[in-house]
């Protein structure tokens, strides 16, 4: 690819790690002299950073490719990422696709000139890094891959075993982003519970968070904040409470990879390493550190063999959780996973109905939480545009008519007014 004002466009599907990697590629291509197009229709080259976590993700990818090809039949489409890792042959046959770069080779996009070069070195932490971000909140990638094979999950196949980013590299990136004006960063990984396992120095995710706090907490506490992308329930122990109590940076909000509230279902999922009731015990202790906190969860319903009783156990467990939101997914078969060949696959309508019931419960809890924080004296909101943003509890806040935020990326103190239509109406203090 020559450098005579070639225009590129990047479309990102899936998780925050994909968003981070897309930003890293974008920055690199700009430094190499390429120009970012206004949209995909004007680009010479279009990268689609793909996801494969569900059947719906693959369907969205196909639709995205066909839509771009209709708008830009001359454009060279490059599919990269997780779906490219598993479905390369199928994706290469889609209209307009010029190249398919699997996740294990995605880093080659960082040095792409005449085409990707193959490599056998797939176990190192890929050299993605960022100085900026096109969104108001920046992602900081600290870990990749997963070495725990949950029976339903395709991620270990698409992203490989766990690899961790060096602590010093994490600290340098946070420093760069703070200097660039970012006041909220999301500490992200595919499985944060695996952080540091391959290091010679004995270190885990909470040690990393302590190093970050020691480096930035004194100067930036109250002026910037960190959000943790997703935690495994097994990480919720005394060490976590210790870090939360110490931190001046971590938002009072957690997102848990819960999946189910039934112990037998968790065992079939390959997730028997934690007990749902232990989560409740931890959250009760957490109230002493954070009297108010947001809580989200990933919940997978309709797993093979899930009985009515097992589903009800999950439902009742979710009733006990102080949820402020949740992502509810019906189980979908992923090729190459153990659950794909399990007996007792549930029919679509049953999975859909169970998902609906769970979502209704989650919505009720979300409204209760919004009402609770609407009675607080003030909140700090990071605005994503002039009138919409998120507070420290990860609830959507909307400025009342007549108010506008003029400080991009900054934390703005607001007064809650009322809960309305799944959001919190606020005014600038």
Q: What pTM was computed for the model? A: 0.93
pLDDT at position 115, please? 43
pLDDT at position 120, please? 44
The stretch 270-287 carries a mean pLDDT of: 96
Q: Which of 39-48, 122-131, 413-422 has the lowest mean pLDDT?
A: 122-131
* pLDDT, tens digit (0-9, with 9 covering 90-100), for 364-379: 999 999 999 999 999 9
311's torsion region: left (phi>0), alpha (psi -120 to 50) or beta? alpha
Please give the CATH topology (third level) of the domain spanning 138-369. pyruvate-formate lyase- activating enzyme (3.80.30)
> Which residue blocks in 194-346 are alpha helix, DSSP H?
205-220, 238-246, 263-268, 276-289, 308-320
Helix or strand or coil: residue 238?
Answer: helix
CA atoms within 13 A on the CB side of 357: 18
The contacts of residue 46 (CB under 8 Å, 6+ apart) are 8, 9, 10, 11, 40, 68, 72, 75, 76, 77, 78
Between 161 and 112, the higher pLDDT residue: 161
Contacts 24+ apart (CB under 8 A), 348-355: 350/302, 351/301, 351/302, 354/301, 354/302, 354/306, 354/311, 354/330, 355/301, 355/302, 355/328, 355/329, 355/330
pLDDT for 323 beyond 60: yes
In the chain, where the domains are located: 7-109, 138-369, 379-428
Mean pLDDT score across all residues of the chain: 93
Count of positions (residues) in the chain: 429
Q: What are phi and psi of 13, to 5 degrees?
A: -115, 145
CATH of domain 7-109: 3.40.50.2300
CA pair distance 73, 66, nearest whole angstrom: 10
pLDDT at position 49, please? 97
Any idea what DSSP says for residue 51? Answer: -
* pLDDT, tens digit (0-9, with 9 covering 90-100), for 150-206: 999 999 999 999 999 999 999 999 999 999 999 999 999 999 999 999 999 899 999
pLDDT for 409 beyond 90: no
pLDDT at position 117, please? 47
* pLDDT, tens digit (0-9, with 9 covering 90-100), for 57-103: 999 999 999 999 999 999 999 999 999 999 999 999 999 999 999 99
Instruction: Find the radius of gyration of the CA atoms of the chain.
Output: 22
């Amino acid at each position: 690819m020559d450098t005579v004002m070639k225009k590129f466009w990047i479309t990102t599907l899936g998780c925050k790690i994909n968003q981070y990697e897309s930003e890293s590629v974008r920055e690199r291509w700009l430094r190499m002299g390429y120009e970012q197009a206004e949209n995909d229709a004007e680009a010479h080259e279009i990268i689609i950073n793909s996801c494969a976590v569900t059947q719906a993700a693959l369907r969205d990818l196909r639709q995205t490719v066909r839509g771009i090809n209709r708008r830009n039949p001359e454009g060279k489409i490059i599919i990269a990422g997780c779906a490219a890792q598993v479905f390369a042959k199928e994706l290469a046959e889609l209209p307009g696709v010029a190249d398919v770069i699997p996740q294990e080779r995605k880093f080659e996009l960082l040095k792409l000139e005449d085409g990707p070069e193959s490599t056998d070195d797939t176990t190192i932490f890929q050299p993605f890094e960022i100085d900026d971000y096109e969104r108001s909140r920046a992602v900081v990638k600290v870990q990749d891959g997963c070495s725990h094979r949950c029976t339903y999950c395709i991620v270990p196949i698409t992203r490989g075993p766990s690899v961790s980013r060096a602590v010093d590299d994490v600290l340098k990136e946070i420093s760069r982003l703070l200097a660039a004006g970012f006041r909220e960063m999301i500490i992200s990984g595919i499985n944060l519970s695996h952080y540091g396992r391959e290091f010679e120095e004995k270190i885990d995710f909470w040690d990393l968070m302590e190093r970050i706090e020691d480096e930035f907490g004194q100067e930036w506490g109250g002026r910037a904040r960190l959000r943790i992308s997703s935690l495994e329930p097994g990480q919720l122990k005394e060490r976590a409470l210790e870090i939360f109590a110490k931190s001046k940076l971590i938002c009072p909000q957690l997102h848990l990879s819960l999946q189910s509230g039934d112990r037998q279902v968790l065992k079939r999922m390959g997730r028997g390493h934690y007990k749902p009731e232990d989560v409740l015990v931890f959250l009760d202790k957490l109230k002493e550190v954070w009297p108010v906190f947001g809580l989200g969860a990933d919940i997978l319903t309709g797993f093979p063999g899930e009985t009515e009783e097992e589903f009800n156990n999950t439902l009742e467990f979710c009733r006990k959780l102080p949820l402020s939101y949740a992502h509810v997914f019906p189980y979908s078969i992923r090729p190459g996973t153990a659950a794909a060949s399990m007996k007792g696959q549930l029919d679509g309508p049953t999975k859909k109905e169970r998902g609906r019931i769970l979502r209704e419960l989650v919505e009720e809890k979300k409204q209760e939480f919004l009402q609770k924080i609407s009675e607080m004296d003030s909140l700090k909101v990071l605005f994503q545009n002039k009138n919409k943003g998120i507070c420290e509890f990860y609830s959507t806040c909307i400025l009342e008519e007549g108010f506008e935020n003029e400080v991009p990326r900054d934390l703005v103190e607001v007064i809650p007014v009322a809960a309305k239509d799944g959001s919190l109406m606020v005014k600038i203090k």
